[in-house]
Amino acid sequence: MPAVAVITAFFTLLASGLPIFLVLGGLALFLVWIEGEPLIGFSQLFLDHLNSQTLIAIPFFVMAATFMNRGGIAKALVDCAYSWVGWMRGGLAIVCVVATTIFAAISGSSVATAMAMGTLLVPAMLAKNYEEKFALGVVGASGTLGILIPPSLAMIVFAIIAEESVPRLFMAGVIPGLMQAGLFVLWIMFYTRKKNYPKGDPISRKDFVSVNVRAIPALLLPVVILGGIYSGIVTVTEAAGVAAVVAIVISLLVYKGCTLKDVPGIVAEAMRLTATILFIILGALAFGHWITDSGMAESLVTFVTEHELSRWQFLLLINLLMLGLGMFLEVIAVILIVVPLVLPLLKPMGVDPVHFAMIITINMELALLTPPVGLNLFVLSSITGAPVERVARGVLPFVVIMVVLLLLITFVPEISLFLPNLMFG
């Protein structure tokens, strides 16, 4: 079937409201069927990819993020951040960025991060007379750090498809993630000074010590996860399992944000989120299999080589492609569609796969903030009751900042590769 017809069918099915996993998987099954290929091959494809120790990390990280959100860990992180920077002008907004950065170093999920911070900080900012669109924008944009600061579910999926080292990818996200958080803080300081926002209330020394001592168990979680991985004590999957267990114990025994009666419901919520991710992975695997077998990837390689695209032109073209796809598709789906298609081009174009993973990840951060399918927009809309359009207006300045960061990461690969090369050679 011609590529134009496939693309048309894809977006038509998507516009019909079908779930993305049905669009990807159903279209792939149909295309393979009309070409006369046996469908039984998909069974082996699914088994080969799902039989992965790395993939097992996903449900554990989702479990950890869900308990963090519901068990009081997120509130402890917010209180700790407020004790350090809450006294500044626009302090609550800066608290959001700082707390989100720490939360992201545990959860691996942007949606979970935005949900936790939105529930706690949007009402607090509105109570301090922050503009609603600014409060929504800060939380929505900061929430995207969940997939850039390691650990990251998006990077784990990329590693499975591209057969790359997960620790190397995690380390590559550190500097871009901190740069993004820093740029957000600088914008917040400029904007709040321009709008003459009030300074936050300072806390006493006694309360400062008390809040920080209380936050120690929460702050130990990223140390347990990343320290365990990079010390070689545990694998990524084992670290995810440890994170889930520790998050449950801390939630129940330390912060007591939930009880034993709440555990089955929280576990069920985590299982539902995990199942959603896995169904999308299955659908995208089927579609990626058809792309490979149809020769579309080889055609793209031929097109690029025949037109003698330079490295910067290739990267610019890929960025535009992912920005477009990100407006309509979920993060995992875009990764699973784009990576098999583009991976054969990376070596001929001289692009390091780890560097490319950072380009994809920041594009997917933007996808979480761009309508019509920006998940963080819908999360904040559901939490606050604000229209999606208002949330989108609030995140617009942060989207501009992230585009600038994307260009820096795209054309200065050393930003992403410095730490991985330093640690792993």
pLDDT (0 to 100) of residue 68: 87
Domain boundaries along the sequence of the chain: 25-424
Cβ atoms 137, 388 nearer than 8 A: no
340 to each of 46, 163, 287, 411, how far by Cα in Å?
15, 11, 10, 22
- Digits of tens for pLDDT over the chain (425 positions)? 566 787 788 778 867 777 777 887 888 888 888 877 777 777 777 777 677 777 888 889 889 888 988 889 999 999 999 999 999 999 999 999 999 999 998 888 888 888 889 989 999 999 989 999 999 999 999 999 999 999 999 999 999 889 899 999 999 999 999 999 999 999 999 999 999 988 888 899 999 999 999 999 999 989 888 899 998 899 999 999 999 999 999 999 999 999 999 999 999 988 888 888 788 778 877 877 777 677 765 676 677 667 778 899 999 989 988 888 888 777 887 888 788 888 888 988 999 999 999 999 999 999 999 887 688 888 888 888 888 889 999 999 999 999 999 999 999 999 999 999 999 87
pLDDT at 17 (0 to 100): 72
pLDDT of residue 210: 96
pLDDT of residue 167: 94
> Alpha-carbon torsion 48, 53, 54, 59, what sign?
positive
Joined tokens for residue 201: 């209330």
* Residue 26 near residue 121 (C-beta atoms within 8 A): no
Q: What pLDDT does residue 305 have? A: 65
Q: Give the residues across from 89 on adjacent strands.
A: 199
DSSP annotation string for 104-161: HHHH--HHHHHHHHHHHHHHHHHHTT--HHHHHHHHHHHHGGGGTSSS-HHHHHHHHH
pLDDT of residue 126: 92
Cα-only R_g, the chain: 22
> What pLDDT, on a 0 to 100 scale, did the predictor assign at position 2?
65
How many Å apart are CA 285 and CA 271, to the nearest integer? Answer: 21
Contact yes or no for 62/103 (Cβ under 8 A): no
**Gap between the Cα atoms of 317 and 285, Å rounded:** 23
SS3 89: strand
Of 380, 383, 391, 403, the closest CA to residue 320 belongs to 403
Tell me how crowded residue 249 is: count the other CB atoms within 10 A of its CB.
13
pLDDT, residue 6, reads 77
Measure Cα distances from 412 to 322, 343, 351, 373, 418 in Å.
Answer: 19, 20, 11, 29, 11
| Exposure string for 113-134, b = 16+ CB within 10 A, e = fewer | bbbbbbbbbbeebeebebebbb
- Tell me the Ramachandran region of residue 350: left when phi exceeds 0, alpha when psi lies from -120 to 50, beta otherwise: left
